[in-house]
Every structure is written in structure tokens, then in C-alpha cells.
Structure 1
């Protein structure tokens, strides 16, 4: 099994293979903390977004293998708190953590905690949006990984982890409208080291409480997926491990996720996995079988009643086209496509899709800290993927730049790397910057510039530039894409000016092409 995974990994295979089978991951990029539901013949999933705006990604699929982004739950992160705003940018690795999506009373409900500001809920009649403005259910710190559940009698509950209090897992009743917690009903129903990733289900009259926790495994510690079941919601619960975990380098710890049943009655587990690689925590699909009233996630290869990681299989549903992870954006829409996200909440008056129709105008802002790229507001980015070949090219028009301004293409996670243009003393000069180490390039006399990033399955990136869009020249050193603040690498566009609030660039087009499968 391990050799099979590494073989697939080297080939770069992922997702729909076009022959009725699929290979994990189904999305080879950072779709962390997923939860999924089926409504009719449609599947919807959410994914945490932390400090990126808009917050809480919403995805859609018809077959559980091929997914597309359709929107976000949270349009303005400052509705959570002021630290997310462009003038503070103080929530790296915090923000919108794992949540849950449910369909109840003809509406879609999403609940999530932020570790600092509390519990929030929003609803929508269409998962693509618009979503209702966030409602803060509970102002509190130190909680995460919540899930709502409505019983057959209509009573709602919320299960969540108080990680600041020894990872106690609580079960609390919800008010009828779902906007309040009835704290008098609070009960601790489970506790173990690192216990979180909570989901609550009722299947064939039995309550199932899904979670993961940290246990000793093969001389080390690993996150282990557990299921508790009971005849009554408050227990007593009996416990069972439902998928073996052999270590991050072997199975990459499938843990956070959700169970979903197809219309034909088959069960699957949507999960993320990750080891701190540049791709973040990719989306995986594992089969689920039921034995003696317990779910087994993956493949029970040794017959011990506990699953093992499955690296592929038959597609749950056939007849739908394969996901194409390519984005071509000519910025001809009235709003930004859902695969884009801002680093914290952007400054609204410093970007526009209408100032010059068909272009994204990025005005220069002054950073909070002139020597810190992570305090540059209005950095617009999207996920990078782990495939055998990745190529992103942007065309920018630089005639509107002002003295002191710098703008271009960037990668960032824990570190950053940029290729861009700096205007100095009336001239524009090409500049490469790897976390403060700079290389200066030629003077530029053109009004339009093409910038390109190319990286392989190992995340080794090289930048290129062109003055005609045809002939590209390598520039700068190789850069290892990485992981940071619970996120995989992001590729994006930036524009700032440490000297003034002057200058802008017009982004004509952004094209990101991803290899469909391995060779």
C-alpha cells in the first residue's frame, strides 16, 4: 500500500482518471477541515480558510470526486473582529477554523468557531450564496471543531471541543432558531488527548459521535479516528477505532472530515490529509463499509475490523466530467471568481474591477510595517497545487506606477518570494525578493509585463519574465514552496508603496495551468 502511494505520488496522479476510477487526493491542494452533505443529487462541502477573505469556502460536486468552488460563507472578516482588517492583519493561522454544514428546515446552515472570537452561524437558501450576515452565537475563546445536529423531535444540539480546557468535548442544546446555546444543558460527553474534529449523526436510530484524538502509535504519537455510538444522545457511548493511522509519512493522517451517503445508499468519508507540505491539506475520498453497526473507513485489508488508507478506487457515481484545476481570469466579471482570496480583509478603496473594465486595478498601499511583506494589505491569492507541472502567468500593465511602488507576482506561506517591478528615480527595475534577500534585474521600458511562476511536484519554483508575452527569461533563484500558519503555499498578486499611497497596476489576465494527471 505504501509503495502504491509513493508510485502515484511520483506520477502526480490525482482525482478522476477518466476510466471510472479515481486516485487520492481528489483535489491536490489546500482544502482543509472539510465537511460534506448530500441534498438530492448534489453534494456540498465546506473548507476552513483561516485568515483569508472571503471566509469558509463552499464547494459543489455531483459525484464526490470532481469538485468546484462555488462561493464563501463569510464575505467580510471584520464581521468576526477588527484584527482581521487590513490595518491590523493580526490573525495568521487563526480565523475561520473547521466548521460543519447541514441542511435543515429548507436552509443550509454553517457553524464554525474562531479560536479567539467565538462561535458563529450563517444560513442560506442556496449554498452558492448569498449567505446571511454572520451571527455570533457565543463570544468565547479556546473552542473549535463544532457540529450542529437536529434530532427527530426537532431539538437542536451543538457538539464542540474546548481545547483550552484539556480538550473536553461538550454537547449543548441549541435554541429553536439555532442562534443561541442553552448553556444550562451543557454536558461533557468525551475527553482524550487532542480530541476534536467532531461530527454527530443519527443513523438507523443510533447516535454516532465521530472525532479524532492523539494516541501512541508505533513508538510515536498519531492522530487517530474514533467513533462512539449510543442509543441515547447523552450516552453511555461505546468506542471504536475506525481507521488505522500509521504515521504522517505513510498515510498522512486522514482525520478531519465528514461521512456522506449517496442516493444509492453507499457511504463515503470526505477528509483532508497533510504533513506540512507546500500543497497544504488536500481533499481525499475514502469508501466506508458498515460491519456490525460500525463504519469502517478505507479498506479493511487484514480483517481486523479497522480500515486502512485507500489511495483510490471506483468512482461513486459515473457520468460527470473530470475536474480541471486551471484558472483563466480576464477579470471581466462583476466580482472576483471564488478561487481568489485576500490576505486578511482588503482595503476596499484600493482595488477595483470597474475602474477599467476587463482589468483588475490594484492600487498601492503602505504596509503596516515597511520591512514585513506579511503586513502588505490587498494581496490577492489562490491555492497552489501539487501536480507534476504547474504554471501561472500574469500580464500586468505598469504605466500607472508611482515612485516607490513595487508590484508583481508572489508565493507565500511561512516565507515568501516575489518577482515584480520597483519604480525608483523615474525608472522601473525588475526585482526578485526571497524573504528579504533581493536580486535586481534589468531596467524596464515597456508598459506591459508578463510574469510567470513554474513549479514541479516537489514544490521547487522558478520565476520568469517576458516583455512580449512570447519569450520568457528565468530570473532569480529557485524557491521551495512551503507551509505556514496552517496553510499551504499561495500564489498571488501584490502592490504596495512604502513611500506614499500613490500608484497602481492593471492586471489584464491571470492564467494558472495544472497538469491533469501524472505521466
Structure 2
């Protein structure tokens, strides 16, 4: 099946590239993807992290680099600034849609803490992005600019709704189509249809989404119709594990390469590492998509490389000013100082734990085996303050320096979740449990976190060194802290540099020379 509206971006033969179907070994969930000439753009959920709504760029669907963030901050509410000591964990922006139409980029999504639907537009992927709101709330929405100039949105959970929009996307069109077009069966599923992606290909309308039938893993489904408002018919198209994770590869968009081949980028749950993107070839047989090899995701893929000499910038970085770093919620810029190799943070409130700490700087873990080290100067923390390096997620652990009775102590602490991993909408108001503690003579140390995020082995080992040089010899401290993915934060584990006060605000810590190593 060919889309005649899509032409080759190059007249020369296209170079093919072989790759693992695991294209990014890090937490980039809910992918949506487009191609503009010789460049692919992928948007991914960033939830409560700021800046937010990350856009990645590629010329071959395998190698990716950072292109832009859509916003620096979303809404300066008490939740998104962590002023309420609860935050927007597990909420924030979800499952954005990216489109390019008449020379303009469109990105739309809902935020589950504000209850709003946002629209950002720009003539350039790097921005500036103009923000507006779409009246209504459209869960996991996907936009379609139809050939006749009409604009549609599909969205929902369990019941998928088609909504015709005003031409300016300000809200539903008065008198336009607004109807449920596809139903899932609540008796047969754990998770009903959601994560919509709609396309018009050769005159037919295709809607892809995810669900989880009882007794199965995450599953991708597709429905097709000759008319935008249906009737739609379809079935499951991808129910496939990879690498023994017993976790399906599903939820994502499709895109056509210049040579006519189709591909989908979906994600797979990888425990504490997060939800990682997977590339799956797609072909159309009798006007219906076939994913991978008869509905199974392959371990390797062949893709056209549209710019084989292009040098990609890594998606991780030691530079504190690199876009690989994000703030945990909206930061107070008066309390932070940031250069390429130094990060200083001052506290302005008291709280109980890392999850409540404002102005925490984070970066994704990358691959199942990685380590991060950083120098810390905690000489200006207050009594009761804690500053350090955290493996941040719902169940977290950290190594840090605290001040007790005027003395500096090195500690390793952890927090476990006493409720179901499927629980959402809860917040952590507990003190972390100190698992190891020792008095130290100097508040200037080098801290290290080493991750093993293989299936069933998810843990982090903390270490420290009193030598601040490049050749520091690290000594393990405390037992490894177990990790697991939970839905209270809904993100993979991250490196996090933090400082918080438990008694009196105003303490300060400085971090220098962060180094991330892939092991």
C-alpha cells in the first residue's frame, strides 16, 4: 500500500541501516512521530519535569538527538512548583500529538493536574512555540487535518470519541461531528483502548491505540474505515514481548520513509529503567497494517538512513546546561545557580523528603547499566538539611550528607511504597529510612550511583570517595537499594541532585563535575 502524497526526499539511492529494534535505552514513553522531508520528529511524555514536552530529531529512525522542548514551564500552580509538598507526580503532560500542516508544527496534549488541553504551534521545530488552549479535555488525543480542510480529534479511554474541531483548534466545532466511534469491552480488558493515533492513508482512516486484554500484555490495535465517522472495523495487530520482559510493545505512531516503507515507534515497559521506544516495521496487506513478523516485534530492523554522515549529539550529558537535564517540577530560579559544570541550590522551605524537595535537577538513566558521579560541597547546609545524589522514582534511594548536632554525616537512605504498584494519585509524606550512616570529617565528597536495571535485578549501589580528583577510588556504602517502576510517579528512575531542609530553610549545597558513564 502506497501513499501517493509522500515522495522521496532524495533522488539518490537511500542507504539502509541495520539496528536493534530498541532504539533508545531510556525513558521516552508515549511516542508520536512525523517526517518532514528528510527529518523525523518524535515527541514524548515528560509529565512533571521542566522544561517539558521533549521533541527528538532523527534522519534514520534509529539515532536520535534533542531538538527542542515545547515549554519551559506549564502552569505555575502550587502542584507544579511543589509549593504544596505534594507536586504533580504521575500527572503533568501526557501523550502529546505532533503534526505538521501547511508549513506549521502543531503539538497538543492534556495535563492531568490542570485538567486542560494545550495547543502549541510553531513554524520551526526549535520554536518559539505559541501556546493556546483547546476547550475541553481530550485524553491521549490525536489530530487529523483532513484533505477537505476539516480538523478532527480522536481521544478517550475505553470509548474512543471522534470530535470535529474548529479550524483554529480553539475547541469543538459547533454542529460538528462528536460521537463515540469505537468501544472496548470492559469485561475483557484490564486497560481499555487509549493512546490514539489517527491517519488518513490512500483515502482510508486508520486509528491505532493500545489496550491490555485480560491474560495478555500491552497490545496494539488498529481500526479502519472508509469514512471519518465510521463504521470502523479492526483487531489487535501487535502483542509481542522482547528480551524476556513479559511486557508488550505498544502505543505509538506510524510514519512512512521516503522509499515507501512504513514504521511504527511504540514503547515497552522496562521496569525501573522506564518505558523505552521500540521500532517495528509495518506493511499493509489488503489495506490493513501488519506489524513486524505477523504481529511480533523483531529484534533487528533495517531502516533507510536519509543522512548517513550526520553526527548525532548524545541524549545524555555531563553538562548541567545541556537539555538532557530537567528540573523536578518548576524551579525557583532565584534559588539556583547553574553553569556547565556547577550547580548550586538553596532551600526556601522545609519538607520531609526528596520527593518534596524543590529545585532538584534530574537526568534520565541511560541503558540498563550506567553510573553517575558528582562532587558535592555541603559545608553550608543547615542543621537537619540533607543534600546528595538520588536514584529518583516512586521507590527511591539516595546517598547524601546531613548535619546532626553540628556534625556532618554520610547517609544512605531509601523509601519503599506500601501500596499497590498500580496506585495513582497518592503522594509521599514520609521520612526516608536511613539504612547506613557514618560521621565524616569533611562535607566535601564525591558521590556515585551505579545502576543495574536488568529485569528482576533492578537496584542501585551507592559509593563515595574523599578524593575529589579524576582518579577517585570509590568505596561502596550501604547495601544496594532495590528499585521498581511504580505509577505514583509514572517515570523511569533518574539521577537527581537535591538539597532540602527539615528544620530551618536557607541551607545550600553545590554540585560539581557530574559524570555519566555507560557500563
Q: Which interval holds the TM-score relative to the shorter structure?
A: 0.7 to 0.9
CA contact (8 A) 1:70 1:338 kept: no
Distance 2:326 2:338 in 1: 15
CA contact (8 A) 1:66 1:322 kept: no
Q: Does 1:170 align with 2:161?
A: yes
CA contact (8 A) 2:328 2:360 kept: yes
Distance 1:105 1:324 in 2: 29
Distance 1:253 1:183 in 2: 40
Report the CA distance between 1:512 and its aligned residue: 0.9
CA contact (8 A) 1:340 1:382 kept: yes
Distance 1:462 1:129 in 2: 40
Distance 2:375 2:220 in 1: 46
Report the CA distance between 1:257 and its aligned residue: 0.3
Q: Does 1:265 align with 2:260?
A: yes
Report the CA distance between 1:323 and its aligned residue: 6.4
Distance 1:455 1:221 in 2: 29
Q: Secondary structure at the match of 2:60?
A: coil
Report 1:32-47 matches (<5 A): 32-47=29-44
Aligned to 2:170: 179
Report 1:299-314 matches (<5 A): 299-300=293-294, 307-314=295-302
Q: Secondary structure at the match of 1:78?
A: coil
CA contact (8 A) 1:326 1:514 kept: no
Aligned to 1:58: 55
Aligned to 1:213: 211
Q: 249, 262, 284: which is aligned to 1:254?
A: 249
CA contact (8 A) 1:52 1:344 kept: yes
Aligned to 2:384: 404
Report the CA distance between 1:248 and its aligned residue: 11
Aligned to 1:4: none
CA contact (8 A) 1:420 1:432 kept: yes
Q: Does 1:296 align with 2:290?
A: yes
Distance 1:406 1:483 in 2: 25
Q: Secondary structure at the match of 1:83?
A: coil
CA contact (8 A) 2:218 2:247 kept: no
Aligned to 2:477: 475
Report the CA distance between 1:146 and its aligned residue: 0.2
Distance 2:20 2:78 in 1: 42
CA contact (8 A) 1:326 1:512 kept: no
Q: 328, 336, 342: which is aligned to 2:327?
A: 342
Q: 12, 29, 37: which is aligned to 2:26?
A: 29
Q: Secondary structure at the match of 1:273?
A: strand
Report 1:306-455 matches (<5 A): 307-317=295-305, 319-320=308-309, 327-331=316-320, 336-353=321-338, 359-367=342-350, 370-387=351-368, 389-435=369-415, 436-438=432-434, 439-445=436-442, 448-455=444-451
CA contact (8 A) 2:119 2:133 kept: yes
Q: Secondary structure at the match of 1:182?
A: coil
- Across the aligned residues of Structure 1 and Structure 2, the Cα RMSD in angstroms comes to 2.4
Unpaired stretches in structure 1, ≥5 consecutive residues: 1-18, 301-306
- Aligned CA distance change for structure 1 residues 90 and 359 (closer, same or farther; 3 Å): closer
Distance 1:136 1:386 in 2: 36
Q: 286, 292, 307: which is aligned to 2:280?
A: 286
CA contact (8 A) 1:150 1:156 kept: yes
Report 1:15-164 matches (<5 A): 20-78=17-75, 81-88=77-84, 89-116=86-113, 117-133=115-131, 135-140=132-137, 143-161=138-156, 163=157
- Aligned CA distance change for structure 1 residues 455 and 222 (closer, same or farther; 3 Å): closer
Report the CA distance between 1:457 and its aligned residue: 4.0
CA contact (8 A) 1:391 1:512 kept: yes
TM-score, structure 1 normalization: 0.84
Q: 214, 234, 243: which is aligned to 2:238?
A: 243
Distance 2:312 2:483 in 1: 24
CA contact (8 A) 1:401 1:503 kept: yes
TM-score, structure 2 normalization: 0.84
Report the CA distance between 1:35 and its aligned residue: 0.4
Aligned to 2:228: 233
Unpaired stretches in structure 2, ≥5 consecutive residues: 1-15, 186-191, 416-431
Distance 2:389 2:166 in 1: 48
Distance 1:509 1:156 in 2: 49
- Aligned CA distance change for structure 1 residues 384 and 358 (closer, same or farther; 3 Å): closer
- Aligned CA distance change for structure 1 residues 103 and 324 (closer, same or farther; 3 Å): closer
CA contact (8 A) 2:336 2:343 kept: yes
Note the alpha carbon deviations across 1:445-498, whole angstroms, 9 max, x for none.
26x421111122423311111121312111111012321232111111001112
Distance 2:245 2:195 in 1: 21
Report the CA distance between 1:363 and its aligned residue: 1.1
Distance 1:330 1:293 in 2: 48
CA contact (8 A) 1:222 1:247 kept: no
Aligned to 2:184: 192
Note the alpha carbon deviations across 1:338-397, whole angstroms, 9 max, x for none.
22122222223221227xx85221112434xx334321112211111333x311111223
Distance 2:62 2:227 in 1: 34
